[in-house]
Amino acid sequence: MPTKVKNRTVKQQAWIEAMLTGCIPTEAARIAKYKPDQCKFRGYENTTKSYLMDEIDRRKAELSAETGYTVEQAQKEYEEARELAMRINQPAAAAGAVTGKARLFGMDKDAGGKDTVTVVNVISYAGSAGVESPKQVESTVIEEDG
């Protein structure tokens, strides 16, 4: 049986920490090392436990007081940036603001997704020993088994 931390298991505490970074409940459960086939259920189940949600609310308030900055303020700033980008016809900047808003709420798959590293090596032989050759790109995807 997992050790308890103030009426919470170690996994629940890790889930809280992940939720505070903006993860959605299922992703937070994965980060907290719940069994892969139980992450969706455990993530949802944890949101129904008032003592866990109260701790998240308490920690958010504490962090907000320390930094003077909230998720709501960041969301407002992203929305203002998106609106400005649209007014000055900068769709790429608007898309960046939308992506930022999505990341605030853990909705962007690239934010906190799989632990994957892509290594890209660009090899150029052009100019070496007078040999002209197009650039070659080699890439390797490395996935961490969890």
pLDDT of the residue at 4 = 52
Fold of 1-68: Arc Repressor Mutant, subunit A (1.10.10)
What is the pLDDT of the chain when averaged over all its residues? 77
Average pLDDT over residues 65-77: 81
pLDDT of residue 125: 46
Confidence band of 122 (pLDDT split at 50, 70, 90):
very low
**What's the Cα-to-Cα distance from 69 to each of 61, 65, 72, rounded to whole Å?**
10, 8, 8
> Residue 75: its pLDDT value, please?
86
Q: pLDDT: is 38 or 111 the higher one?
A: 38
Cα separation, 49 vs 132, in Å, equals: 65
52-56, 80-84, 86-90, 105-109: which has the minimum mean pLDDT?
105-109
pLDDT at 136: 53
pLDDT at 69 over 60: yes
What is residue 124's predicted lDDT score, i.e. its pLDDT?
A: 46
pLDDT band for position 68 (50/70/90)? confident
Parse the chain into domains and list their residue ranges.
1-68
